């Protein structure tokens, strides 16, 4: 099986129509504040599992009131008896995402792994009201363009010591 990252449903359809096998997973940014609802449904129709990276919203990068540190998540955490991280993960798992939380702190790793699905329908609906915004839209995706657009692929190279231009993104085996 293969996996892809940040592919739209159309990009996956284009890829498979070109003869590639259907990917087993598509890894995308997903969290309460970028729930990828439309994409999740499209992937479900294609039979592709969705893996959420940055499932905690990366508040360290985007400010203390975003993602895991938001008032909304804190409120639901208090109601449910879960930590804010557990709320964020619970939300995605309830929506059939596979989650990959990152932590280097043993206590947080344990907390992320040891809990039960507890959010009720009312709490899920409350989290569904969160404003939707990408939190990990880094500069290499200017203007939110498709990462794999022809325009981006032409400029995504690195000049090697011998002068050869090589893609900075591996889409298979590089041949010079």
For residue range 76-132, what is the model confidence (pLDDT) as tens digits?
999 999 999 899 999 999 999 999 887 777 887 777 777 777 899 999 999 999 988
Res. 153: pLDDT tops 60: no
Q: What is the pLDDT of residue 24?
A: 93
* In the predicted structure, residue 172 carries a pLDDT above the cut 50: no
What local confidence, expressed as pLDDT, does residue 142 receive?
A: 45
Question: Stretch 13-39: mean pLDDT, rounded?
Answer: 89
Strands, E, within the chain: which ranges? 3-5, 25-29, 49-53, 98-99, 157-159, 165-167
The stretch 149-174 carries a mean pLDDT of 55
- According to the model, what pLDDT value does residue 38 have? 94
Give residue 15's pLDDT: 85
* Span 42-53, pLDDT tens digits: 999 999 999 998
How many whole angstroms separate alpha carbon 42 and alpha carbon 167?
29
């Amino acid at each position: 099986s293969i996996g892809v990252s940040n592919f739209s449903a159309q990009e996956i359809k284009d890829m498979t129509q070109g003869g590639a096998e259907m990917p087993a997973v598509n890894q995308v940014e997903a969290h309460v504040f970028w729930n990828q609802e439309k994409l999740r449904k499209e992937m479900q129709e294609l039979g592709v599992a969705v893996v959420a990276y940055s499932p905690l919203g990366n508040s360290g990068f985007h400010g203390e009131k975003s993602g895991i540190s938001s008032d909304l998540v804190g409120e639901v955490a208090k109601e449910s008896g879960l930590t804010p991280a557990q709320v964020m993960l619970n939300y995605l798992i309830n929506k059939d995402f596979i989650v990959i939380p990152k932590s280097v702190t043993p206590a947080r790793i344990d907390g992320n792994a040891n809990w039960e699905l507890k959010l009720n329908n009312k709490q899920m609906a409350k989290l569904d009201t969160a404003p939707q915004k990408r939190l990990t839209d880094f500069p290499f995706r200017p203007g939110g363009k498709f990462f794999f657009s022809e325009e981006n692929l032409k400029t995504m190279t690195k000049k090697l010591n011998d002068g050869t231009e090589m893609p900075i993104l591996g889409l298979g085996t590089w041949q010079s």
